[in-house]
Structure formats: C-alpha cells, structure tokens
Structure 1
C-alpha cells in the first residue's frame, strides 16, 4: 500500500497549530530554513496584501512549491492556502466507538430526542439499518478541482478585491478502517498532501511544512463524514441537538448541531493561538432523510507580541449529493465545498475575507479490501518525536 511506503521517509517535524485546519502560509524563508512561528508568517502575508498596489502581486517573494514548474508565485501561494484549508480538515469532535443504542426519552431534552430520531431516519435512508454486519474497511478514489481564492481587503471605508477564479485539478485516494483509522493522499498541480490516523494520532505532511501531529482529542477526517461513511456520520451526530428547520435549495431540512466542549477545545491551543470554538451543523433532508449540506465554523484568537489580538474564523460549507447504491449503502458521489477565512481584530478597522472552492467527485468505492489492516495506518516514525525540530534525510 502507498501508506506503508511513507513510513520509510524521514520528514520534518513540527507541532500542528490550530490554524493548520485553516490557512497555513509559507513556513520557509528564502534560504529554506524553518521559521519558529507560523503566526508571524501569517501577519507578514496580510501585511504584504495591504501594501500591494491595485493590480499588483502580493506574492513575489514567496518560496516555490515542490513540482510547481512555471506556475507564478501568486498561484503557488494560493495553492498552499487551498490545500491548507480544503486538503484534509478534521471534524470538531471525536466519533463515538459505541454503537448508537436505543434512547430512553425520559428526562432527555426535546432537542436531543428529536436529533436521535432524525439520525435513525438517516441510517434507514442510507440503508445502514438493514446491514447485518459492518464493513471492515473502505477504499475511495476521486477527483477534485480547487478554485483559487478571492480576497476582499477592507481598511476603513475602502474595500478592494484580489485574486482570480482559475482552478487546479487533482485527485485523491483514501482508505479507512472503522472507526478512527484512515489514510489520505491528495495530489493537486504536482503537490501532494498526505494525512492519516492510526486511531490515536492524526497527522499531516505537506511539501512546504513537513509532518505535523494534530493536537487535542482524536477526530475524524471531514471527507469521511460528508457522505462517504453514513455510520461514522451518524456516530458523530449521536449526541447532537436539533435546532429546528431550514430550507437548503429545494429541500426543507432538519438542522443538527454538535460542538467541541471547552476542555477539548483548550487541548488544541498552542503558543499564542487559542481556539475559541469549533461547531458543526448537519442539514438532513425531510423528504429523503439524507445529509445534503454540512457546515462547520472554527474560530481562533491569536495574541501577538504587540499586544494586539487577531481573530481567524474559518467556515466550510459543503453541498452533498448524487447518492448511489454501493453494496446496499447509499454513498454520496459528488459535492461542492465553499470555504471562507475571515480575519479581523478587536480594535483595528482592517479585516480581510478570503473565499475558495472545491468541487469533488467520487469515482470508486470498495468495501472490505483484502489485505488492508491496521499496519497500513501506522504514522511516520518521526511523528512520535515531538521534541525533534528537524530530521536530516
């Protein structure tokens, strides 16, 4: 398997900051040396944006991506942002290892009991309720198109927009063993993001940042719960609250909400970055019972050395559709994701809003792949050495 081959590599190690689930701008300087704080780079990135004249490029000094060829520096930096936000984000909370049991409605809030019955309808609609045995594992392959970001920068009364809507095509393969073992390889424009989890540690490797381990509780890959694995999705929303109803397109939907608790959120804090909240909303069609839209919101507060505070809010909304039968289970085969990264300060008039898109389509889904075992999900050896900043090849 491809994931086994990665264990032989010696990768750069650095802790995964909360913003790794949002933008992660260039972490290397022109000499290829690692910088200590990704937040310093982010501030520099937005400082360059504000100083660029209309029509100019804000990325002329950006370091190159691997395999970038003749791609312009601006497009390369946009691609980093796209892969950082949309490549392999994680859900807010862990998936319960326990099967969803019958709910005793006595002394249970109506919001919780309503969510329970909506999830039961979802399992029935996808065909999971009829499955006598669970699939041992799953293989998925598909294609993606990442559409480059547009950034709106506001400074007081003036607002200007930068960027273009050109896109890059790519593909991905993913393996999963229920509930928490997964491996993902995503390749776009000659740049590959590799991520995985062995059920205890979630990690990610990018060409420009090396290998990182996610802090906090073990959480599932967002791609898995957006229509690819209905049982994992149901487990994630097992303790959800029903907020009511909302219309999405032509569908009237029930809205379910799950959120990371305060203790879990605090575990993900790192240095000057403090995660404030991470919330996930699922929109289940009243007509079909299927999940057709999902949105999560992730807010981080960053304290700088200049005693100013900057907030980063990343919102990712995914339309999910084209459900097809695969061995008796309805699996979503296409969708569209729109992500927005909003940066603002407590006192500053300056703020920016960056928008990006992903269009994805599933080509193949196979359950119970022969030979796939937990050995296929072992993290790179270097990920266990959190004290080591850089590992020589």
Structure 2
C-alpha cells in the first residue's frame, strides 16, 4: 500500500474541512505558510535546505549559439544523461559513450527533468470557448465537417451529465496518483531501453501524485510531485504561469489555454468548449471502441505568439476520439512541432513531441461522468539534420483518480493569484524539452549534428498506439 502522507495527505485533510488550495500550495512572500504543512509537504529539507535545483531544458538562444558544454561534467550518469548526450553529439561520439559500464541510474534527476519538463503541465493548443461551448446546431451554410462536430459535442455533453448539470459546477477538485518512466531511447543505429538501476528487468518507475483545482471561468491550479520534485502551474483567467525547481516562477507565452490534464476526462465543459471550432475528420476503432475523430489546430497567430527567439512553433494539432457507443471521449492525441534555427547558420533542427492518451474507467461523480484512470505514451523526435543524428525518446505515464469533488466550499479567485515572485516577461515552450547542460557559448563552429533544440507536446502515432505498459 502506497504511503498516505506528505503534501497530498495534508491537502486531503484540508479538503475534508472545506478549505482551499491557497492554504496548501507552495507559498510566495505574499502567502504565509503553515509550518506544519511545510514540514509535511517535503518541499523543504531539515534545516530549511531547499531542494536541489533541477535544470529543465535548453535555452533556445544558447542552443542556437552551440552552447552544450557546461561545468556539470561530473554528473554524467544515468539513462537521462545518456539520452541528453545523444541529443547533442555526432553519431560517432554517441557510439563511443554508450558502453555497458554506464552508471545505472545513480543520477535519477536526469530522468525527472525529462519527465516533468514534458509531461508535468502541458497545455492545450488553443483557448477554450468558455462563453458558448455549444453553439446553436445549424446545418444550413455550415460545412458538414463542422456541423457533424457540433452534433458529436452535443452528444458528448449529454453523456457527461447534461449541459445544465455541467454549468452548475462553479469549481472542482481532483486528487490522483501518477507513475512516469522514460522507457526507451532510439538512434539511427541502436535502441536503448531503460532497464532500471540494476540494469535488468523493468525500467525504474517514478511514482507520485497530483492535485488539481479548477474554477469558472477558466481558472485552474495544479501541483504535481514525483520523485521528490514538484511542478506547480496555474491560470487566473488572464495569465498562465508555471513554477519548476529549475526555472522558478515564470509566465507562459501566448494566449491563455487550459491544462491538458483537465481534458483527460476531468472537465467535460472545458473539453467541449475547446472542441467548439473542431471538424469531424472521420471514424476509427480505438481500443475496441468505434469512435468519431474531431480535429482542431492552433491558428498561425496563436503559434506566432507562442514562438520565441530562434524557436518557431510550426504546428500544434489536437485530436479527440469520441465513442459512438457511449458518447464519451476515450482517447486524445496532440502533435506539436517546433523548429530551431541556429544563430550561426546551418541546418535547422526540428522537435516533434507527441502525446497519445487513453481515458478509462468513467464513473459518475455527483451526476457527472469522470475518467478515473488513463495512460499516456509520449514520443520526442528530433530530426532535420543528417539521418544518422536523428533521435527518438519514449516516455510513459499512467494515472488514477482517487478523489473528485465539485463546488468545494471556501474556494475563491484569490486561490488562483499567480506567485508574487513570478518572473517578469514570459518563457517560451522551447525550455520544456530534454535538458542540456551549458553556461558558456562556444566561439568555434559547431557540427550541425550538435545543434539541439526544444519544444513541447503532441501526436502522430496511430490512435491507441502505446509503448510498454507502466
């Protein structure tokens, strides 16, 4: 039986008493913290020592300048480092470093940075239509793809509990468990599976949990703790922000968008609003269920707002698979493509991030259908240079929902105020990919195969296509 202690047990106790997340989340100077809660949350070590900062992902400007050499050379161990080394080396260098004597996971923070950086708090491609998630169904003058999508969404809303019931939800709370693993790394010449600390058997799985709060209109807050590290993210309806141990508190670029985890069967109204402008692009059988496929894409203006410096977001597409039998969404996929153009010239490098999620175990909570379990398979694919330097990293996540509650007393807009120490300006999505070490830019020319890049989310592999089970 997993431990019922730490931050999540403390938060659970507060929820029972009808308190809000503002009493339990990480505190900034604007928020005073309960000493008991801080001690139980694991966010501070004895003696007030702060958790060791983790470097999340590459800085786009430094990557473009060819900066891959850092002062962290002593920490060259573990599967996560092996992955990062291949992302920044020529094939010959990578082969020389992949000997069997690698340090068997002693530097497990490498995997954590990779897992939390990509799967911690991804966002949807576009904003959700909160004002009118279900426009009046009209066939005249409307393309058949759009009118079909509107009909499918109306069936989805009815299957989820009905529009009137969903609109009555002023706020919601969910608590769950997660398991994450970086399962496989592939180059042009070999495939390396993460076999765990012993080098044999299944890959080492990082376990943890999350809490999620939402409030109409468009506000949310999530805290995810895995392997001793925590990622916070939130939105007050006007600004999306994140807080990680390696970047601190910072605003996200681009328009306000919902959290992807909310779309994973936890908020039908937000999901319907997101797909309000989607098109029906066909049908497909997914995990034994005949499904309608709805597709939506981020428009060029939104992509431009989310781009930064040498990192240009080219595409972000989301597919929702709605069961023809139940009307519920049972699968969600998104595909995110970013191009990094090095300052020094040379070939651009592309990162495609794909996330494919199955939503399972739908159960009614106060009359609303909520998915209580699911799995995600994530693929990071780097290409654009010589074929021998292409790389592919696979990660997996499994989650389960333990508690769901609606209209929690005591929750107010003050609970979604961004941290007082939030960094001015915003941070682009190119920092959310595989970590790279480096503090100084090289003055010499860099081989094109060593120009690494970064980006965020996605899809592309067939629906229902998953890696090894966690």
Report the TM-score range of the alignment, normalised by the length of the smaller protein: 0.7 to 0.9
Aligned counterparts of 2:421 and 2:97: Cα–Cα separation in 1: 40
Which residue pairs with 1:160 in the alignment? 191
Query: In the TM superposition, what are the counterparts of 1:308-323 in structure 2 within 5 Å?
Result: 308-323=347-362
Find out whether 1:184 has 2:184 as its counterpart: no
Cα distance, 1:153 vs structure 2: 1.3
* Number of equivalent positions: 355
Cα distance, 1:168 vs structure 2: 1.0
Helix, strand or coil: the match of 2:395?
strand
TM normalised by structure 1 equals 0.84
**Which blocks of at least 5 consecutive residues in structure 1 are unaligned?**
11-24, 61-70, 389-393
Cα distance, 1:107 vs structure 2: 1.1
Query: In the TM superposition, what are the counterparts of 1:324-363 in structure 2 within 5 Å?
Result: 324-363=363-402
Contact 1:137-1:175 at 8 Å conserved across structures: yes
Q: Decide which structure has greater strand share.
A: 1
Helix, strand or coil: the match of 1:311?
strand
Query: In the TM superposition, what are the counterparts of 1:258-273 in structure 2 within 5 Å?
Result: 258-273=296-311
Cα distance, 1:55 vs structure 2: 2.5
Which residue pairs with 2:173 in the alignment? 139
Aligned counterparts of 2:143 and 2:86: Cα–Cα separation in 1: 46
Which residue pairs with 1:118 in the alignment? 152
Within the candidate set 218, 238, 257, 1:219 is matched to 257
Within the candidate set 121, 127, 135, 1:88 is matched to 121
Cα distance, 1:302 vs structure 2: 0.4
Contact 1:7-1:378 at 8 Å conserved across structures: no
Cα distance, 1:163 vs structure 2: 2.6
Aligned counterparts of 2:242 and 2:367: Cα–Cα separation in 1: 33
Q: CA deviation digits over 1:11-40, x for unaligned, max 9?
A: xxxxxxxxxxxxxx93699xxxx9963664
Contact 2:21-2:411 at 8 Å conserved across structures: no
Q: CA deviation digits over 1:200-239, x for unaligned, max 9?
A: 1111111122222111111100010110011111111111
Find out whether 1:379 has 2:412 as its counterpart: no
Cα distance, 1:128 vs structure 2: 2.4
Aligned counterparts of 1:174 and 1:218: Cα–Cα separation in 2: 17
- CA distance 1:133–1:234, change in 2 (3 Å): closer
TM normalised by structure 2 equals 0.71
Contact 1:28-1:35 at 8 Å conserved across structures: no
Contact 1:90-1:220 at 8 Å conserved across structures: yes
Helix, strand or coil: the match of 1:101?
coil
Aligned counterparts of 2:57 and 2:255: Cα–Cα separation in 1: 28
Within the candidate set 49, 53, 60, 2:98 is matched to 53
Cα distance, 1:115 vs structure 2: 0.5
Which residue pairs with 2:43 in the alignment? none
Q: CA deviation digits over 1:167-211, x for unaligned, max 9?
A: 011011111002321111101111111111111111111112222
Helix, strand or coil: the match of 2:157?
helix
Contact 1:7-1:379 at 8 Å conserved across structures: no
Cα distance, 1:2 vs structure 2: 4.4
Query: In the TM superposition, what are the counterparts of 1:275-286 in structure 2 within 5 Å?
Result: 275-286=313-324
Which residue pairs with 2:409 in the alignment? 370
Aligned counterparts of 1:139 and 1:303: Cα–Cα separation in 2: 42
Helix, strand or coil: the match of 1:238?
helix
Aligned counterparts of 1:278 and 1:132: Cα–Cα separation in 2: 28
Aligned counterparts of 1:351 and 1:192: Cα–Cα separation in 2: 31
Which residue pairs with 1:240 in the alignment? 278
Cα distance, 1:47 vs structure 2: 2.4
Cα distance, 1:101 vs structure 2: 2.5
Helix, strand or coil: the match of 2:140?
coil
Contact 2:172-2:407 at 8 Å conserved across structures: yes
Which residue pairs with 2:55 in the alignment? 26
Within the candidate set 88, 100, 108, 2:142 is matched to 108
Give the root-mean-square deviation of aligned CA atoms: 2.6
* Larger of the two Rg values belongs to structure: 2
Aligned counterparts of 1:320 and 1:83: Cα–Cα separation in 2: 20
Cα distance, 1:346 vs structure 2: 4.3
Q: CA deviation digits over 1:331-362, x for unaligned, max 9?
A: 11000011000001144531111001100000
Cα distance, 1:6 vs structure 2: 3.5
Contact 2:174-2:405 at 8 Å conserved across structures: yes
